[in-house]
Structure 1
Amino acid sequence: MAILVPQSENVTGDVVLDRRFLTPTLPSAADADGFVAPEINSFGNTFRDYDAASQGQKTVEEFYRLQHINQTYDFVKRMREEYGKLDKVEMSVWECCELLNDVMDDSDPDLDEPQIEHLLQTAEAIRKNYPDEDWLHLTALIHDLGKVLLHPSFGGLPQWAVVGDTFPLGCAFDETIVHHKYFKENPDYNNPNYNTKYGIYSEGCGLDNTLISWGHDDYMYLVAKENGTTLPQAGLFIIRYHSFYPLHKAGAYTHLMSEEDKGEPQVAAYIQ
């Protein structure tokens, strides 16, 4: 996964410019207080390798086939309207974390463990690398809590409607999106209103005005925002767009970003 952290004067660690984003220089192995990301995942493959031959990869590819076919502009509009009511259930953050004990993410080629472990590992890694940014520790802990959408209490949505990389709807599907070939079966693919570079949008319209595929990112953003979170705007940005890999890994869709979106350089801190 990736955490996008807007740069601030208090962020610790050296950073190097990577396209539009800043990538932190993680502590060396000799630094006992720092988190050092491994070079390969637990399956012996490089991270986010969607071509490695394995049974797990077959599951991941099937997930993206279903996601790319079913995530349409109309579907996302319906989901935002339905789940924006926030009327499913009320519980504490930790109760939500515990629900994820039974949740696995079919879209992730690097993990085969319950999501609660992923939350705790991510929060601890961020705490070690950014010890003075307490808001960031909390953001890391809750960034994936929206995956409770998979639980019956929250509607029991299918995996393709909850997890995976996110992308805009209402404009052309960029070729950098994982398993792009399956979009050909998406009803929006041949819709002339949606299949051009800008589609229904305009240059610099802003990510806030762009409809992004439905899932745990947008849901957790809505939950935090509508419940009056005290997290800074940077925290909300992280939660809402941390799965938007076409943007923060490939630089796609930057033409839709507003000056405000571009105004705060992002630190792409990759925690595997």
Structure 2
Amino acid sequence: MNNQDISNNPLADLDHWEDDLLRRYPDPDTIATNKTKEEYRNYEEPARDSVKEFYRLNHTYQSYEFVENKKNEFLKFDKKEMPVWQAFDFLNELVDDSDPDTDLDQFQHLLQTSEAIRADGHPDWMVLTGLFHDMGKVLCLFGEPQWAVVGDTFPLGCAFSDKIVYSEFFTSNPDYDNETFNTKYGIYEPNCGLDNVQMSWGHDEYVYQMMKDYLPESALYMLRYHSFYAQHREHAYDHLLSKHDQEMFKWVNLFNPYDLYSKNPVPPNWAELKPYYEDLVAKYLPATLKF
């Protein structure tokens, strides 16, 4: 199938997926300073047909073979090489003026996430994780459709859980009737560990692979699994997780509220923050990043 043969980008902008998450997973924590938890729970907007269409595409085309092909295409990191701060400018090309929640660019969202983490006194590597967690969305700038960049992630190579949002759309996935893949364990052994599991493709896996040589394991779990809602919200795949995965998921659970609930219309003061973040990035990362 040629990706260009279908309507690849049903969402008006990438934040619509995150808005849908706010409706599905309202959080009682106090990270959200711009809205009350009730306002997040009762988001004043009708459910978007575009979100449903997004997941129809995602669940139809995210197959085991599709992910293998994407890994071969993008994990060579041979598309572009940039200084770290130029990479943020590149990411900001994804700004969409129609976003109803904020007119801040992608970098400002990342900075708000990292500043919320920093304000709560977490380690500096976690602050850096907040700053970089959405860097993988640059895949859209390399021509990738939205359904192959954002969205809830899930394992492939085994049966699709009914705890995954819009799970009914998996009936159109080529793996659905594959007898090798459509049992509880599929190609895996019980509690084999997520490092041995093929996850659906998107910005989580991409940024994890980009950062895996630079950040501690706790940070890498945050990056790799922050969209794996079927597990860290529903525990749908406990049978695949190792004991080590179960322990490490406390970091994923800690991180997610900062990602979802830190949006605020007032941008951080970058002039004041710049020296801190320049030192932080230099502490952990090389001068240039490969994409």
Q: Given the two structures, how large is their TM-score scaled by the length of structure 1?
A: 0.75
The code of the aligned residue for 2:111 comes to L
1:263 aligns with 2:244: no
C-alpha separation between the residues in 1 aligned to 2:162 and 2:100?
A: 20
1:46 equivalent in alignment to 2:41: yes
| Amino acid in structure 1 at the alignment position of 2:203 | H
Matches within 5 A, 1:107-126: 114-126=105-117
Instruction: Percent identity, please.
Output: 47
Q: In the alignment, which residue of structure 2 is the partner of 1:139?
A: 129
Q: How many residue pairs end up in the alignment?
A: 229
Residue 116 of structure 1 deviates from its aligned partner by 2.6
The offset of 1:38, in angstroms, is 3.5
Q: Distance in 1 between matches of 2:135 and 2:93?
A: 13
Are residue 157 (structure 1) and residue 162 (structure 2) matched? no
Letter in 1 for 2:128: L
Alignment correspondent of 2:180: 193
**Between Structure 1 and Structure 2, which shows a larger proportion of helix residues?**
2
Name the aligned partner's letter for residue 187 of structure 1: P
Report the AA paired with residue 53 of structure 1: P
Question: Which AA in structure 1 matches 2:113?
Answer: T
Question: For residues 113 and 202 of structure 1, what CA distance do their matches in structure 2 show?
Answer: 45
Could you say if the C-alpha distance between residues 258 and 66 of structure 1 is closer, same or farther in structure 2, counting changes exceeding 3 Å? same
Does the CA-based 8 Å contact 2:133-2:207 persist in structure 1?
A: yes
**Selected match of 1:250 from 234, 238, 263:** 234
Aligned counterparts, 1:29-108, within 5 A = 36=33, 38-40=35-37, 46=41, 53-54=46-47, 57-103=48-94
5+ residue gaps, structure 2, are 1-17, 19-26, 262-291
Provide the rounded CA distance (Å) in 2 between the counterparts of 1:210 and 1:243: 15
Separation in structure 2 between the aligned mates of residue 111 and residue 201 of structure 1, nearest angstrom = 42
- CA distance in 2: counterparts of 1:38 and 1:209, whole angstroms: 39
CA contact (8 A) 1:97 1:116 kept: yes
> CA separation in 1, counterparts of 2:166 and 2:248?
30
Deviates more, 1:112-121 or 1:167-176: 112-121
Query: Any gaps of 5 or more consecutive residues in structure 1?
Result: 2-23, 28-33
Residues 1:65 and 1:238: Cα distance change in structure 2 (over 3 Å):
same
Q: Counterpart in 2 of 1:127?
A: 118
**Higher RCO (Cα < 8 Å, 6 or more apart):** 1
Q: Report the 3-state secondary structure (helix = DSSP H, G, I; strand = E; otherwise coil) of the residue aligned with 2:156.
A: coil
Instruction: Provide the C-alpha distance between the structure 2 equivalents of 1:245 and 1:111, rounded to a whole number of angstroms.
Output: 24
Take 1:185 and 1:111, find their aligned partners in 2: how far apart are those partners? Answer: 35
Q: So what's the TM-score if we normalise by structure 2?
A: 0.71
Q: What is the aligned-residue RMSD (CA, Å)? A: 2.8
Q: Which runs of 4+ in 1 moved over 3 A?
A: 24-27, 34-41, 108-114
- Change over 3 Å in CA distance of 1:195–1:112 after alignment to 2: farther
For 1:62 and 1:234, locate their aligned partners in 2 and report how far apart those are by CA, in whole Å.
Answer: 34
Instruction: Please give the alpha-carbon distance, in whole angstroms, between the structure 1 residues aligned to 2:179 and 2:33.
Output: 47
